[in-house]
Structure 1
Amino acid sequence: MSYLKSVYLAVKKVMKLIALVAVVVGTFSYAMFQGGFVSWFLFYAVTTIFVVMLLYIAIPLGALEVTRSFGQSAAVAGSKMTVTVTIKRKWPFPFLYLVVEDEMDEGLERQLDCSPKMIFYPTVKKELTFQYTIPSLKRGEYAFKGTRLETSDMFGLFQKQKYVAASEDLLVYPDYHHIERWSAYERHDTETRLSAADFVEDVTSVAGAREYVPGDKLTSIDWKVSARANKLMTKEFEEYIGQNFLMVLNERVADYQSDTLEAFEKGIELITSVVMYSHRRQLQYGLWSMGEHVTKFPLDAGADQQQRLVYHLAKVKATRTGDFEARFREESDQIPKGTSFILVTTELSDELLNRVKILLSRRVQVYVCLMVTKVDRDPWEKERFYELKRQGAVTYMISDGNLSDAISTNEGERYETIR
């Protein structure tokens, strides 16, 4: 098929050239038979245009060097990025116009507020530059492929194209919400509000204090109690919770609609927020990411653990395939004791409900974060959500596409909001 296409293009060029020769021969014949200034002027004008077009056909675009600059190879979701494309020519090729188009992944191109294309008109400059802006980057891994250049003669009969490979990768890390406020519940008449920091503090409840022993973390020292007791005292946390977070991300989504994908992205933000908080507090944390495949990051702490998890969260994608419930059932028996288990999902199923019940019966502290973009859900899913609450799980429904409206039910009527 490609062979036939190349033959067709070659024949098309030959026919165009024959047509031009025919025009020149026709105007020469007209001048010879008609005579006079006008006919010969027409012939010389057409001949000049014909010679210019022959030169255009003969002279190639030449060697072009294309460079792309956007400041960094990694960025944070929501940030603005300006891309600068520079074309350098060894010698000024005479073109009537030059179209330059920067090619990239379709997912990144959809985020542009303008076309990554520029038209340059006749100039003697050896260096041409243009910019375009991505107003708000979305989390993910993207690639810039190369730059396509195109020009043609004044009649558009003959076109020249050149593709310059200039591949570069861009990794956009997920955004997160800084957790720093430690005030507990703010009681109101009709609802109880809980900040994102309180959500984490809720799973790090301090049970008491004991005398400091060598090897204890300095960050765990309770200075107020130490001052009263006149000796170093270390905070003791709830035995069933400890200082460990094990987060499970359900990569499977019901569909690829914008609302569902936005809910999935907010789930990534929530997990990233807990990762950043845990890193600052020097806590142990891990992640199980389950979709078509299972990616497990065991409990650990430190900068390396943070980098591994954030890098994975930047690249993970929602999928409609994969049996999350089956994979979760196989792995749930390996949950370490004394771990706060945080499940982040965009859907609830009966099998998932039964598995969480089993974990609760084993005295595992379970936190279920149902990521939604609107409170109106399927009645069966809402019933499963309420059932988890009745069984003893701490449930949060994060709605409106952001963490400022996280709603959790308590006894069917009371709501708790993460903000």
Structure 2
Amino acid sequence: MKRFGRILLWLILLVGTFAYGKFQGGFVSWFTFYASVLLAAYELLTARHALRNATSERVLSSLKINAGQTLEVDILVEVEGKWPLPWLVLEDTLPTRLLLQSGSNRELHFPGSNRKLRLSYSLPNMPRGKYVLGDTRLVTGDIFGLTKKVIVHKRQDEVTVYPKIIPIPYWHTINKFNIGHTNAQNRMAEDSSNVIGVRDYAQGDRLSRIHWRASARTGSLKTKEFELHVTNDMMFFLNRSEEAYRSGSNQLFELAVTTCASLLKHAVSKKYSVGLTSYGKDRLTIAQSRSFEQYIRIIEHLAIVQADGGDEYNDAILREVNYLQRGSTIVLVTPVLDQPLVQLIGFLEYRKVKTELFFIVGGRQLTDVEVVHMGKLETLGVHTYVVRDENELEEVVRGPISYASNS
């Protein structure tokens, strides 16, 4: 409709200048008519041939990155037509949440004879989530600004931003209830490839453990000593209650997700069996497993998870703990430490379910009531870690309880 209106205006202009030349006569009137004809022809050809056969390509530095990293975007444009372009605007369509991250996803060019153009911009400090980068728009026009032509190249590139992973070199989380209660590959076992020494033979030692070469050398039976390895079965419970994070900023929930993802990464690197329970608008329970595919499934979920659940964190723990393998360790990641949770943890300890609590507090100070609750957990032998900042997570994991009591 807008295009039809523009054409109608040009027809009225041409008819008007022609009538003016016909009835008025003279050089000026006819010059006005011929100038209008030339201008109309130029505008028509610009609208028809500008950006004809133009192509563009979007190149991303990566489709999968971690939160806090920078995404580099290049838009490569090639104009195959010969029609001159006095100016050209390249614009990339971004999700609303990323517009503030962008330095400039829109750029003005004066191509001249240049047929290949490039728009480069960065999206620093990418927030966690999944984002779809949309269409690329090419806008040009005539030198007078009377005509504008827009070409839209349809495309969708999905970028996944995973939670930030903080390297954790040490986390002492051996479960004393685990030994002897889980299947053979989970419990304390000898690694036959790591012989650390020999000792005198004792009655009951298996023949497979006898070190025959050392026995022959010493004249008495010697038994191999192996390095012991212990693995854990771990189930992580991420608190997604909307009310639990209401008093803090969105960064508090991001800290909880970062903590959960970092601990999961450490557990997977140690060959522990891991799983995740995440109750929000969507309820998800990923059963324990050692496979790397399991970790990918969990981390994909943590990339999009939000604090959108009801007040059902304790209920989720009670419900899911009944399905855990015997000897499992449950890891609670929550910004709430209240009396019901302390009672629940006490009940789990009574049932010989080892619990480790990561208390997400951010920058606020602990209340007197929370300090009392932490003292009760300490008497139960429950490791409590107070997490204030992601950069301190490595040190926090090294010192449960003592770190908390000094906070």
Say yes or no: TM over 0.5. yes
User: AA paired with 1:337?
Assistant: R
- Residue 201 (structure 1) aligned to one of 151, 172, 180: 172
Question: 1:131 offset after TM fit, Å?
Answer: 0.8
Unaligned regions of 5+ residues in structure 1, if any?
A: 1-9, 181-196
User: AA paired with 1:98?
Assistant: L
Question: 1:348 offset after TM fit, Å?
Answer: 4.0
1:357 aligns with 2:346: yes
Structure 1 residues 294-303 or 365-374, which shifts more?
294-303
Q: Distance in 2 between matches of 1:177 and 1:145?
A: 31
Match of 1:415 in 2: 406
Structure 1 residues 355-364 or 386-395, which shifts more?
386-395
Question: 1:84 offset after TM fit, Å?
Answer: 0.8
Q: Distance in 2 between matches of 1:108 and 1:158?
A: 31
| 8 Å Cα contact 2:280/2:308 also seen in 1 | yes
Q: Distance in 2 between matches of 1:48 and 1:297?
A: 70
Equivalent runs, 1:23-62 vs 2, <5 Å: 23-28=13-18, 41-59=31-49, 61-62=51-52
**C-alpha spacing 1:282/1:156, structure 2 compared with 1 (3 Å):** same
Equivalent runs, 1:94-105 vs 2, <5 Å: 94-105=84-95
Q: Distance in 2 between matches of 1:267 and 1:382?
A: 20
SS in 1 for 2:85: coil
Match of 2:241 in 1: 252
Q: Distance in 1 between matches of 2:177 and 2:50?
A: 75
Unaligned regions of 5+ residues in structure 2, if any?
A: 201-222
| 8 Å Cα contact 1:16/1:157 also seen in 2 | no
1:337 aligns with 2:301: no
Question: 1:83 offset after TM fit, Å?
Answer: 0.9
Equivalent runs, 1:236-385 vs 2, <5 Å: 243-254=232-243, 260-321=249-310, 323-348=312-337, 350-376=339-365, 384=373
Q: Distance in 1 between matches of 2:24 and 2:284?
A: 84
Q: Distance in 1 between matches of 2:67 and 2:18?
A: 66
Equivalent runs, 1:19-168 vs 2, <5 Å: 19-28=9-18, 41-59=31-49, 61-112=51-102, 114-168=103-157
1:216 aligns with 2:189: yes
Aligned residues: 377
User: AA paired with 1:329?
Assistant: L
Structure 1 residues 300-309 or 26-35, which shifts more?
26-35
Question: 1:410 offset after TM fit, Å?
Answer: 5.0
**C-alpha spacing 1:325/1:159, structure 2 compared with 1 (3 Å):** farther
| 8 Å Cα contact 2:241/2:310 also seen in 1 | yes
Match of 1:235 in 2: 228
Q: Distance in 1 between matches of 2:370 and 2:405?
A: 18
Question: 1:74 offset after TM fit, Å?
Answer: 1.5
| 8 Å Cα contact 2:234/2:331 also seen in 1 | yes
| 8 Å Cα contact 2:178/2:328 also seen in 1 | no
| 8 Å Cα contact 1:287/1:296 also seen in 2 | yes
User: AA paired with 2:268?
Assistant: H
Question: 1:319 offset after TM fit, Å?
Answer: 1.9
**C-alpha spacing 1:167/1:235, structure 2 compared with 1 (3 Å):** same
Question: 1:81 offset after TM fit, Å?
Answer: 2.4
SS in 2 for 1:232: strand
Q: Distance in 1 between matches of 2:229 and 2:121?
A: 54
Question: 1:386 offset after TM fit, Å?
Answer: 5.3
| 8 Å Cα contact 2:80/2:115 also seen in 1 | yes
**RMSD across aligned positions (CA):** 3.9
Q: Distance in 2 between matches of 1:255 and 1:322?
A: 8
Q: Distance in 1 between matches of 2:193 and 2:168?
A: 18
Q: Distance in 2 between matches of 1:159 and 1:390?
A: 74
| TM-score, structure 2 normalization | 0.76
User: AA paired with 1:415?
Assistant: N
The structure having more radius of gyration, on CA atoms, is 2
SS in 1 for 2:274: strand
SS in 2 for 1:166: coil
SS in 1 for 2:406: strand
Structure 1 residues 388-397 or 266-275, which shifts more?
388-397
SS in 2 for 1:163: strand
Q: Distance in 1 between matches of 2:192 and 2:94?
A: 47
Kindly provide the CA deviation profile for residues 297-349 of structure 1, in whole angstroms up to 9, marking residues without a partner as x.
Answer: 32222433333333333333332457333333322223333222210123345
| 8 Å Cα contact 1:173/1:310 also seen in 2 | yes
| 8 Å Cα contact 1:138/1:172 also seen in 2 | yes
SS in 1 for 2:134: strand
Report the identity percentage: 24
**C-alpha spacing 1:399/1:142, structure 2 compared with 1 (3 Å):** same
Equivalent runs, 1:4-23 vs 2, <5 Å: 10=1, 12-23=2-13
**C-alpha spacing 1:13/1:287, structure 2 compared with 1 (3 Å):** closer
User: AA paired with 1:218?
Assistant: D
**C-alpha spacing 1:203/1:410, structure 2 compared with 1 (3 Å):** same
Q: Distance in 2 between matches of 1:204 and 1:71?
A: 42
User: AA paired with 1:71?
Assistant: S
Q: Distance in 1 between matches of 2:307 and 2:93?
A: 25
